[in-house]
Structure 1
Amino acid sequence: MKRQLAALAATMYFLFPMSLVLLTLVITPLLFVSDVGAIRSSGFAGPQASEALVGFCGLFIGISMLVPAFRRMYRALPWLYPFVTIFFINLIIANVALMILNTGYEVSSSTRHTIFTIFMIVFIIGARLAMSIYFRKRPVTSVEMR
């Protein structure tokens, strides 16, 4: 009975909070390009909701890793752990890049806009390169392998 209750809890956790987190992890990189385009075309900084988005996703991902009953979803779907890990890091990179761009667009100066746009691009390339090097040395494996 305890195993069935744990399986039900893991299923419910996957269906409700984790499905929203997975949707956010998939959509955020796609919306990143439109957010950058909106900031550059308007000339003004956009909304600063990135910390809340990272916190929201990080909270539910962390709970799913800490509670043993919820870890069952990573065993049932072996692709889920690497997917969540890589996409969560992509979420952090994209949101830090938007924060950098927003900082550059707080002041109305075309030189500052250009400098911070270049800084944002360099940050994205550097962070993705660092992530690639890290995961080449320490590949993400499923929870079963840990």
Structure 2
Amino acid sequence: MIVCVAVVGHNNHPLYLQSFISESNILKFHHIVHCSLDVIEEKVSNSKQAGINISESFLGLLYPTEEYKVYGYMTNTMIKFVLVTTDRDLRDADVRNLFRRLHAAYVDAASNPFHVPGKKITSSVFVERVGNMVKSFGAGASV
């Protein structure tokens, strides 16, 4: 089950952060997302030092905690997507596909002429699309 989705700007400030559990402590998810940014930065810098060109945006499992697994995805423009889930048996292909759909929804929201780049995403269409993706993912439907 997906418990949190976050979109983080290239300056590492949250553009969108939504919790999908009722007893959520939003500060807890802000902390998890903030910690994941360090892991994303480390993965990217390690690949650059090794001379590996990251053409794949999916960063995979960033780190597990006692309760959650945290996955990451980064676009060419340094926009980061973070997914926090309670599922222990997720396939990377399903998570990768969900990130691609989230990326497409973000591009549509950012392409809105009323959206100010670098500001929080306030599009109700984006929020609805993300909610539908999370519901379909949690229900075990193909993502």
* TM-score normalised over the length of structure 1: 0.30
Higher-strand-fraction structure: 2
Mark the structure with the bigger radius of gyration. 1
Q: Which has the higher contact order (CA 8 A, sep 6+)?
A: 1
* TM-score normalised over the length of structure 2: 0.31
Higher-helix-fraction structure: 1
